[in-house]
Copies of this chain bind each other. A is one copy, B any other.
Amino acid sequence: MSEQVYGRVALIGLGLIASSMFWAMKRAGLAGEVTGYARSEETRRTARRIGLCDRVCDSAREAVQDADLVVLCVPVGAMGPVMEDIAALLKPGATVSDVGSVKRHVIDAVLPHIPEGVHFVPAHPLAGTEHSGPESGFAELFDNRWSLLVPVEGTDPEATARLRALWEGMGANVDEMDADHHDLVLAVTSHTPHLIAYTMVGVADDLRRVTDSEVIKYSAAGFRDFTRIAASDPTMWRDVFLTNKDATLEILGRFTEELFALQRAIRTGDGEHLHDYFTRTRAIRRGIIEAGQDTDAPDFGRGQKK
């Protein structure tokens, strides 16, 4: 059993990540009281109905009062304004963190508003599902997943260590990383793949000679996985692309360069090029399985997932 890490935690924004954090903190007894706030009245009503948070507040300012930890769980584009709103209410010695998928932009937007005597330790849990909203969370979301801490220069090591203890208590593995490197790594492993999946699903939907019902009915493994990715929260992902612009555009450039080379191989009938490429990509899959980030069980679609 874990011990309490913070007396009072405030969750600003009550979507998939915040609601999972609440259940994970409760599971392990990591926080004394957890307050919550969401901008939408409907979300606050739902949260109260399902018992999400010990106390749901009607303003962010109310929620953060006396909090030892404030976690910003809003879309990346909203972090700055929210921080500006709550800055004056923060308790001296409190820690502010966030769960945004982009770190440089969040630091630039939030750090200027952090008052003297308050710590700022940005974080990013690499976990999620295609569902969103206050009812989508569950205590196991972070189990055995990575949560990356991105401390800014001059951050109190004590504050970082305490946040690490919270994430480990919620089941996650924790690493520290520099903000710019984080944004590049995520552009490769998450942001660009999401954009590509969104694009492919959009193409299928546009194509008039193939009906939507055919696309849906005969959706094979490749495309089915894409649609799952492309069902993720539109606001969150809009903000990701707008705020991790440089890294995403760089990786997209590499992607189209490689895609054009494969396209040319198809057009010219260069089977050897294709076979070599497809053989090489097999190896990286093996590495992911060995790293414990997926299972080797065959994935053949519906019915095998809990």
Contact = CB atoms under 8 A, between A and B. Distances in A.
A251 to B, nearest CB: 7
Interface in A245-276: 245, 248-249, 251-252, 254-256, 258-259, 262-263, 266-267, 269, 271, 274-275
A205 B245 contact: no
B284 A216 contact: yes
A190 B274 CA distance: 17
A271 B238 contact: yes
A83 B127 CA distance: 49
Interface stretch (A33-41, A92-100, A149-157, A223-231): A223-231
A92 B53 CA distance: 74
B225 A275 contact: no
Interface in A269-303: 269, 271, 274-275, 277-288, 291-295, 297-303
Given A189-B222, A221-B229, A235-B275, A127 B300 contact: yes
Contact of A185 (B214, B271, B275, B298): B214
Contacts of A285: 130, 201, 227-228, 230-231
Nearest to A229: B222
B223 A225 contact: no
Given A196-B200, A275-B235, A189 B262 contact: no
A54 interface: no
Contacts of A306: 297, 304
B217 A291 contact: yes
Nearest to A220: B190
Nearest to A222: B193
A216 B287 contact: yes
Given A146-B217, A259-B196, A282-B230, A302 B293 contact: yes
Contacts of A59: none
In the A-B complex, the 8 residue pairs with the closest CB atoms = A129-B298, A193-B222, A234-B278, A231-B285, A190-B220, A230-B281, A225-B225, A201-B281
Interface of A: 77, 126-131, 136, 138, 141, 143-146, 148, 184-186, 188-207, 209-210, 212-232, 234-235, 237-239, 241-242, 245, 248-249, 251-252, 254-256, 258-259, 262-263, 266-267, 269, 271, 274-275, 277-288, 291-295, 297-306
Given A212-B287, A215-B284, 20 more contacts: A148-B218, A185-B215, A190-B220, A192-B203, A193-B222, A193-B223, A193-B225, A204-B284, A205-B281, A205-B284, A207-B251, A212-B284, A216-B284, A222-B229, A228-B299, A234-B282, A238-B278, A242-B271, A252-B259, A294-B301
16 contacts: A146-B218, A190-B222, A194-B222, A198-B262, A203-B254, A213-B287, A219-B293, A221-B229, A228-B294, A231-B286, A234-B282, A238-B274, A238-B278, A252-B259, A252-B263, A294-B302
